[in-house]
Structure formats: C-alpha cells, structure tokens
Chain A
Amino acid sequence: MAKKLAGTMKLQVPAGKANPSPPVGPALGQRGINIMEFCKAFNAKTADLEPGAPCPTVITYYQDKSFTMDIKTPPASYFLKKAAKVKSGAKTPSRETVGTVTAAQVKEIAEAKMKDLNANDIEAAMQIILGSARSMGIEVK
C-alpha cells in the first residue's frame, strides 16, 4: 500500500525497555502514533541486545499513523564508557584523561558498531572509535 510520509524522528530508546514514559510517550503520542504497538515491536527487535543499552532509533511515520523503525547500534560513547568503566567523558578531553581502554576493546567496539559506521573495513571503523575515545578523554593502551 502506498506509504504517505508524515515525518521522521530519532529517539534514544533503551533496548528491551521501551515504555510510554519520555521520550517515547510524548514524542509518539503528540503525533498520534500507537505507543504500545511501537513498544511491543521495539522490545521484540532488541530482545537480544543488552537490556537498557541506548539504541538510537529512527522512526518514520505515515499519514495514517502507521510507522517503521530503524534501530541503530548504541553510540560509541556508550561502549567506550562501559569498557573504560567510567560514568562520563572528560569535560576538557585535551587536558584530562578519565579512563583507558585496550586496542582489543576498540576493535570489539568497532565490530559492534560496524554496520552503522561510514567505514569500509574494520581498520577504518577502529579509527572512528579512536577519535571518539580521544574526544571523551579516554586513552587507548
């Protein structure tokens, strides 16, 4: 059936834990999108991910209130903070180091993020992750 586009939105939704509280409830509710159907589908699609991992999700919604969703991998910053066991990045990353990760961990993160990165191979993906680490004040050893 013809899909008559109305708009798109990008939400950070915790894997397996979508519910009608913010941001899902107000963002979808204001557009008249079926919140419970979204939550059901999102939680089913992210059932195999680590519960609570923040998943950027692009929701495309149509004029008859139907929708599609494209669930991305959690942000690199999430993986890096987890690997470095820190709660947040550095406020002044050029002068401050808040934690360290290993090259093996960087490769692991690059592999996990590969499908959403603009990279042709794992080396290029690792360079992107290294850049993220630097910008957060996380050192790679």
Chain B
Amino acid sequence: MPTFTALTTLSGKAAAEALGEAMEHLVPEPTGVGILDLEDDSGLWEVGGYFTEAPDEAGLALLTAMHGSKPFAVSELPDTDWVAHVRRELAPVEAGRFFVYGSHDADKLPAGKIPLLIEAAMAFGTGHHGTTLGCLRALDHLIGEGFKADKVADIGCGTAVLAMAAARIWDGTILASDIDQVAVDVAEANLRANGMAGRVGCVEAAGFDHADLHAAAPYDLIFANILKGPLVALAPDMNAHLCPGGYAILSGILNEQAQNVVEVYARNGINQVRRDEIGDWTTLLLQKQS
C-alpha cells in the first residue's frame, strides 16, 4: 500500500494544532496527522498528514491559505521496512560500565559490560536521552571512585533504568518511585525482564510522599531525573532524606538552568561535586555536607 505524506511548517503550537485538526477533514482523509516542535529556536512546528492515496492538493492549498502555513510538500514514501529502520535508530547505549539495549539487540551484548534490557515503550528512560545517559555516567563515576551505597532511591524513575543499574552494583535497599502509575508498571515489567523481579521496590508517589520512601530513609544515593521546577521544589526534602555525605544525581535540567539548581541545593546543604553537559542537558552530581 503506498503512503503519501503532506508536510508543512508554521509558527506556534496552537496554530499547528488547529491546522492538524483541519487536515483531518480533508477528502481523501488522512490516516494520520502529526505535529512536531522543530526545536530549532525558530518557533516553527511541522504539521504532516499520512495518506494511502494522493492527497487533494487543492484542499491542501486552501488550508495553507487559511492557516498561513508554508505550502505543503507532498511526496510518496518509498517502500521501507519501518521496523528495521526503527531498530537501527534504537541502537544500544553505552554509559561507562553500563550497556542499555532493546531486545532486538540482545545478540550484541559486549563482554565486560553490565547489561540493562530496556524497551523504548511507555515510560521515559531508554538511555537515548542526554538526561538518562548523564545519570548513568554520574553513577559510573561514583562507582569508579569506590563509593558504596546501602540505600538508594530513584525519584521519578520512569523505566527504573537508574534503580536497576544501582541494583546491579550494590546489594542494599533500592526503591524507585514515579508519579505516573503507568511508569511504575513499566518499571516492574523491566525488573522482571532483567531477572530482577522484587529486587527494587516500585511505588507510585509524588516526590518522597510515600510511607516506604520515608521508612527507608536516609539514603546514601538519590537519583532524581525530573525537571528543574520539581527539582528545586524537592531540595529541602532531598536534604531531609539524604544521609550526611550522601550523594544526589540530578538531571532533567537545561544547561542554562543548572547554575540556579546548584545554588538552590547549596542553600539546602547539598553541594556540587561534578557537572556533565550532554547536548542541551546537564546532569549534576551533588553531595550533602557531612
């Protein structure tokens, strides 16, 4: 079956959503419509439709005029094995001693690495983003320095890749929490897929707001790969839940936000040890005063 695409760009999310919705009423109707922030600082959004027959170019021209977008570029996609294409894009990620891979790369495990099987599915934390990669690198650094943890918490765990990485290294108590029950379910499924069922306690919680997380405190190491706003709000709780000399690995921070986060945590007695920038994202390794 042929697939045609009709793509255009225009400024602003609301305008893109309105155009996307209008595209759904074209005849022949598209089988799919997508909008995408181009994230190139231009403020432009891409709006595209997928069709199984050639789209009505007059209808597209009308939409262009009504919504002020650039003219649609219509093309027929070449016949492609999209599953194979995606597998090439979802290549394994190496972060120090850790090797994060999808099941389609199970035959590529390198010797001497610690494997973590994570499917790119319905929770964040596949290793393909600078934030997760930065956290794994920070953990790898701590391990390299001879640090040992008895108690670890992963706040906003997503896939629980960070909690699992810690559990591959240390024998102590490891808890993972997420505000999203879907992520908690994915985390538990990932633990089973890695032969670690029950090794990490997974709970649904906002921040540290769960009895299990309170009961296990204080922690030697806390991961929080969230976003700047929640990280700043968590700073006092982070101090309360870290043991003296304990470490926090924070990510989800844009490079230009990092200094502000460092200052907020310093005011809460948790100081910067190391900073790692990967693309637009910064990961901070911080330590609570002894």
Contacts and interface: CB of A to CB of B under 8 A. Distances in A.
Interface of A: 1-12, 20-38, 41, 62-69
A34 B52 contact: no
B89 A26 contact: no
B11 to A, nearest CB: 16
Contacts of B85: 29
Nearest to A34: B120
Given A12-B32, A27-B50, 5 more contacts: A25-B80, A31-B36, A32-B89, A33-B86, A66-B122
26 contacts: A1-B132, A2-B131, A2-B225, A3-B158, A7-B37, A9-B33, A11-B33, A11-B50, A20-B82, A21-B1, A22-B50, A26-B82, A28-B82, A31-B36, A32-B90, A33-B120, A34-B120, A41-B122, A62-B124, A62-B129, A64-B124, A64-B125, A66-B121, A66-B125, A67-B121, A68-B122
Interface string B63-92: 000000000000001001011011001100
Contact of B31 (A11, A20, A67): A11
Contacts of A26: 3, 5, 50, 77, 80, 82
Contacts of A28: 82, 86
Contacts of A27: 32, 34, 50
B178 interface: yes
Interface string B110-123: 00000000011111
Contacts of A7: 34-37, 46
B239 interface: no
A26 B85 CA distance: 10
B183 interface: yes
A7 to B, nearest CB: 4
Contacts of A64: 120, 124-129, 132
A7 B46 CA distance: 9
Nearest to A65: B120
B124 A29 contact: no
Contacts of B122: 37, 41, 66-69
A29 B102 CA distance: 16
Contact of B32 (A3, A10, A67): A10
Nearest to A64: B129
A2 B124 contact: yes
B251 to A, nearest CB: 8
A23 B156 CA distance: 33
Given A22-B50, A64-B124, A66-B120, A29 B156 contact: no
Contacts of A24: 32
- Among B82, B158, B183, the most chain A Cβ lie within 10 Å of the Cβ of B82
A82 to B, nearest CB: 18
Contacts of B24: 10
Interface in B164-217: 178, 182-183
A75 B182 CA distance: 26
Given A1-B132, A20-B83, A65-B89, A41 B121 contact: yes
B266 interface: no
Given A22-B31, A65-B89, A2 B121 contact: no
B54 interface: no
Contacts of B50: 11, 22-23, 26-27
B27 to A, nearest CB: 10
A141 B159 CA distance: 53
Given A2-B124, A9-B33, A68-B182, A34 B80 contact: no
A64 B120 CA distance: 8
B121 A23 contact: no
B226 interface: yes
A25 B84 CA distance: 10
